[in-house]
Structures are given as structure tokens and as C-alpha cells.
Amino acid sequence: MDWRSRLESQGVLTSEVVDEVLSHHGGRGRRAIDAVSEERVKRYRDFTVVVGETDEYIVEEGSCTCDDQRYNLDDDEHCWHSLAVEIADATERVDHHDLWYSEVRDLMEG
């Protein structure tokens, strides 16, 4: 059983699951786990967003708007933002907001 299946069935980040994530994804896995524990995975009405160090990244259906996903990874690989969304969904650690992200983004930039 891989870490995704184990996480889905257990619903919690056990030490075994953490070890598997880190073994398979290294630093990206660590950043994803940290983002979930710091509640930086946010779901709005229109998008799921992961708050990074310098920007927020939209993740939809396992695809992310970050440069790492666009330029460094193969189609079957995932950036840490996408991994964070998977982990947050499986552990029910998504920070839900009953707002449109586009409206929030406009307020942040204005």
C-alpha cells in the first residue's frame, strides 16, 4: 500500500506515512507536510490555494500554477503545493473560506 492509500484509509499523518512521503518526495514532501500543519492550504469557492513563501499558488486537479510544476517536473510528478492539497484533503486539514478567491486576491492587491 502506498502513502496515498494509507493516508486515505487512516485519515491522519502517522509517522509511517510521513516517512513514506519524505522517502518518495524528499524536500517537496517536507514542505507539503509543513504547509498542512501550518494551515496554509485554503479552499475558496472557486479555487484551492496553497500559501507559499512569496506567493499563493492555485492547485486544480493535481496541477499547480507554480514554476516548479511548469518547468522542473514530469507529468507524473507533483510540486509540494499539489502534495499539500492531497494531504490536507485526506486529513481534513483544509482551511475553508466561503469567498471567491478572485475577490480576496483583488483585496490583497488593492
What are the tens digits of pLDDT across the range 87-105? Answer: 999 999 999 999 998 877 7
Long-range pairs, 87-91, Cβ under 8 A, ≥24: 87/7, 87/13, 87/21, 87/32, 87/33, 87/36, 88/35, 88/36, 88/41, 90/4, 90/7, 90/8, 90/11, 91/7, 91/11, 91/12, 91/13, 91/36
Number of structural domains, the chain? 1
> For residue 34, how far is the Cα from the chain centroid?
10
Entry pTM:
0.91
pLDDT of 107 strictly over 90: no
**Structure confidence by residue, pLDDT tens digits, 27-79:** 999 999 999 999 999 999 999 999 998 899 999 988 999 999 999 998 888 99
Residue type, 76: D
* Residue ranges making up the domain that contains 73: 3-109
1-13 mean pLDDT? 91
